Chains A and B, each alone.
Chain A
Amino acid sequence: ETGVTQSPTHLIKTRGQQVTLRCSSQSGHNTVSWYQQALGQGPQFIFQYYREEENGRGNFPPRFSGLQFPNYSSELNVNALELDDSALYLCASSSGIREQYFGPGTRLTVT
């Protein structure tokens, strides 16, 4: 148990729809990073939020966007879903430069 929670656990969406995934960071952590993990692959960095501001972005299109709230929880939004967006979405929280603590992930299936 890392204290990082994600919701929902699973969901199924149709191509073209929009989805919002949520992450509650561990108490005291001010940084949240989001990763996408396709089946059989390692996680790929999407973006990071630090004190409510985006602090770095990986090679993902603008239809992937996020927010961080004053309590440091975070959302990942994906617009115009594509079949290739089917993956496990992981968030990780951290404090300063210390190690990252990952949540259990949200399994998104796009049909």
Chain B
Amino acid sequence: DAKTTQPTSMDCAEGRAANLPCNHSTISGNEYVYWYRQIHSQGPQYIIHGLKNNETNEMASLIITEDRKSSTLILPHATLRDTAVYYCIVSRLNTGTASKLTFGTGTRLQVTL
């Protein structure tokens, strides 16, 4: 699986959009970009994933560049409850079963008043 690079930490004011970048310059054509987050002392939580088109769900939006070498996770209106470590993961979509996820150290997002 391709390696990802994320900033170690970021701050965001509550109510503002949080834009979390991720570089994955060695991504292959059959690899997806996944985002998970981990709130302190809990298991990781799935946020969103995509291949090459931008994706949006009730939690976030995922913007993938045309060359697929980088992506941005957008939390449109961050709240204090969004304070967490955010992991960007690149992984092939398996046939029939879930992908084996390779987590890095992620970005620690601190949302402040």
Q: Which A residues are within 8 Å of any B CB, using their own CB?
A: 2, 4, 31, 33, 35, 40-45, 48, 50, 55-56, 58, 90, 92, 94, 96-105
Q: How far is the CA of A102 from the CA of B37 in the complex (A)?
A: 11
CB-CB under 8 A from B95, the residues of chain A are 97
Number of B interface residues at 8 Å Cβ cutoff, please give it: 23
- The secondary structure that dominates the B interface is loop
Query: Looking across the interface, which residue of chain B has its beta carbon closest to that of A33?
Result: B98
Q: Which residue of A lies closest to B47 (CB)?
A: A99
Contact flags (1/0) for B95-111 with A, using CB distance below 8 Å? Answer: 11111111111100000
**Chain A residues with CB below 8 A from B93, complex form:** 97
Contact status B43-A103, CB under 8 Å:
yes
Residue ranges of B at the interface with A (Cβ–Cβ < 8 Å): 34, 42-46, 49, 85, 87, 93-106
- In the complex the two chains form, is B98's CB within 8 Å of A42's CB? no
> Cβ of A40: which chain B residues have Cβ within 8 Å of it?
105
Give the docked Cα–Cα distance between A94 and B36 (Å): 14
Docked-complex contact A33 and B43, CB < 8 angstroms = no
Tell me whether B103 and A43 are in contact (CB under 8 A): yes
